[in-house]
Structure 1
Amino acid sequence: MNTQNTADQTAVVEAGIFRNVVGHFASGVTVITTVVDGVLYGTTASAVSSLSMEPPMMLACLNRSSSTHDRVVSAGYFGINILADDQSDLAFHFGRKGEDKFATVPHTISPEGIPLIDGALATIVCKVDETATGGTHTVFLGLATSAEAHDRQPLAYYRGTMGRLEPVKELSAYKATRDWVLQRKSALGSDLDIEQIAESTRSEAAHVGNALVKLESEHLVFRTEAGTFQPSPITAEFTDSAYDSRATIESGIIASHLDKLSDEVIAELRHITGELGRLRRESASDLDDFLALNVAYHDTLVAVAGSSQLTDSFRRLGVGTVWRQALTPAEWSRHMDHTHVVELTEALAAHDADAAQDALAAHTAFGKALAREVVARHGGTV
C-alpha cells in the first residue's frame, strides 16, 4: 500500500514555528560575490555549506529576487566569503540592495576574476556545476576552483544574532529570557526560575542570570528583597515610552537614509504590507504571524541604516507581549489596524519625507492609544 502523502495532503509547519526552529541552527555568515561585464556584485547569505570532498564542491542558496542571483547565473562563477568576527558591518552592508557595494569595501580580484573581500576568515571560488530550484531560492552546486583560509575568528549567526561565538550565546540567552519575561511564561508576582528558563530555552544558567540583570536595567524585571527576580508590570507609561523611542529611531532613518530605499526594499515593504492586510482579513487566529510580519516590516526599514547596534536597540523596544497577552484571537484583527503602515509604505515609495514622517507619527499615535486602551482594560498593567 502506498503510504506517501500527496502534495495536497502534506501538512506544512506554521511559518512562525518554522522561523523559530530554523533560527536554532547556528551557522557562519558569508557574502556571495561574482562579476559580470566588469561590474562587481555581492549579497549576504547564510545558507551555504560544503557538499563533497571528492570532488571538492560547495552549496549556496540565493533568493531569486537578488540581483546577485542573476549575475551568478550569467557568470557561471561565484565567490564565497566567510566573514570574520569583526565584519558584521559587512553582513548588513551586503544585505542591502541597489548600490555599488564594493565602492567602500577593500577587496581582491581572484585569478577567476571574482571579487574576494579582504580580511575574510576564508574565501572559496566556485564554478557553477549544477542548479536546483526550491521555493523562492536557487541552489547553486559549485566546484571549488580555489580556496584560502586565514587565522581569524568566525562571525557566527544564531537565532537572529550575529557576533563572536561566546557573545552570540549570551545574546541568544538574553533574547530568549526577554521573550520568556514578556510572554509571561512566569506570571506577574512569581519568581523567575533561572534554571527553568535555562533548561527551557537551552541556554546556560549563567547567561540567563546575566540577562536578568540586563533586563532589570531595562525595567522589564525587578529584584525582590529576597534577591530573586520577578517580571515588572507593563503600564501605559511604559508602552508610551517604547513607542516614542521606536518612532525616534525610525524618524531619524527616514530623515537621513530615505535615498537608500531601493526599489527592492520598497517591494519588500509593499509585500509585507499586503500580507498584513491579508492576515487581518483571512486569518483571525494568526496574531503571532501578524506580529512577526510587523517586526519584519520595521526591521526592513531600520536595516536601511546599516547599523547592527541601531537594529538591536530598536528590537529591544518591542512591546508585542501587550498584544499577545491582552487581545483574543477573535478580536485582534479588528483592533490591529495597519492603515498607517500602508500610508507609510507609499510615502517611502514616493520618497516623500514629509508624508512618511506624518504617516509614522500617525502610526505611533495609533499604537500608543491602542496599547493604553488594552492596558486599561486589564486593570492598568499587563
Structure 2
Amino acid sequence: MTEVEITADGPSKGEFRDVMGRFASGVTVITTTLDGEDLGAAASAVSSLSDEPPSLLICLNVTSTTAQAIVKTGTFAVNVLAEDSAPIAQRFASKAPDKFQTIAVERGQTGVPLIAGCIAHFECVVDETVRGGTHLVFLARVVRVSSKPGNPLAYFRGSFGRMETAPDAAALHAVRDYVVGAVTDEAQPLDAEAIAAELDIEVGRAYQSLVALTTEGLVRRTGATFQVEPVPDQVIFDYYAAKLAIEIGAAAQTVGAVGPDQLAELRALLEATLEYSVDGQFSDPEGWIRANNAFHEYLVGLAGSVILTETYKGLRLPAMEQRAIRESTRATAALHDDHRAIVEGYEKGDVALVLRTLTAHAKRPQETRAEAAAAAGLVS
C-alpha cells in the first residue's frame, strides 16, 4: 500500500471554496421555530445519512441564528426549493431581518414552518450535533416527508440555475421547437396541457419547459399562464450567425479533404431539397425544411466531430426556418443556387467559393424579412 504524506500546506480557503463551487448541488432552506419566531437559512450541505431509520444530516455555520435555534429546539425542516425559487433562496441566504415576510408557509407535525411551493419537505428531530470547523453538523431522524412533481433549484459556481435531465432536455427541445413554430408578430396564448398532448410528453415537463423558455425571452409568464412572444428579428439573425460560424469552421477543414462517396452524398442531399419547390415557390415547406436541415447537418458532420454536430443541432434551426418560409415563397431560387454553389465548391476543392457562398447564404433570412416588410408596406 502506497503511503501518502499529509503536509500542513493544504489549499487556501479561497482555493477550497473555488473548487467546491464546481460541485453542483440542490438548494434547500432549513427552517425551525423558537419561542414563536420562525427562522430559516439557505443551505446546500444536506445529505441522506440512513434509511433505517430514515435519517439525514445538514451543516450550518455555527454563527447562524437558525443553527443556534436548532440546538435549542432539536427540530427543523429541510425545504427543497423548486427551480423557479431563486428569489426565496437569495432571501434566506441574506441577513434580512424578517425572512418570512411575504413567504407562504404551512405548519409541520413538529410545528416548524414548511415553505409552500417546494418540491419536497423533510421534518426532522435532531439525534446528535457535532462541531466541524466553522460549522455545526446536525444528524437527525426524519419523522415526516412530503413531495410534489417538479425540478429542483441548482447552485453552481456561485449562481442559481436549473438541473436538466436527459428526458427534460428532450422535452425542452420539443417545446422550444413548438413555441418557435408558433411565433407570429403578435403574442399568442400557450396551453401547457395542449402542448403536452400534441408532443406526447408529460404535462409537468411541458410546464417546466415553458418556465425555462421564459429565460430565453421566447415565452412570457403571468402567474400560471404563458404566452409566446414575438421573436425580435435580431434574435433570429443571431441564430443564423452562430450557424454560419459552425459551418465556416467545418468547411474550412473539409473542402478538398473529403472522398468521392461523401461528395456524392452531399450532392444527393442537394437534389433532395429540389423536390419541395415548384416554379420558385415551396410546394411542401415542411418537407423542404427537413431536406435543407439534412443537407446542412451533413456538411457540418463532414468535420467528423460529434461535439460540433451536436452543437449545431442544438441551435434548433428548423423551428426558426418555419417562420422565414411562412413569410416568403420567393427565396427558393436563391437558396437552391447557394446549395449548388456549395456542392460545386466541394467538388472542385474551392474553399473560397464555399466560404463565400455560406456567408451569403446566412444572410437569406434577413433578405426574406426585408422582402416581407416591403410587401407589407412597412418600408419604402
- TM-score scaled by length of structure 1: 0.48
The higher radius of gyration belongs to 2
* More relative contact order, 1 or 2 (CA 8 Å, 6+ apart): 1
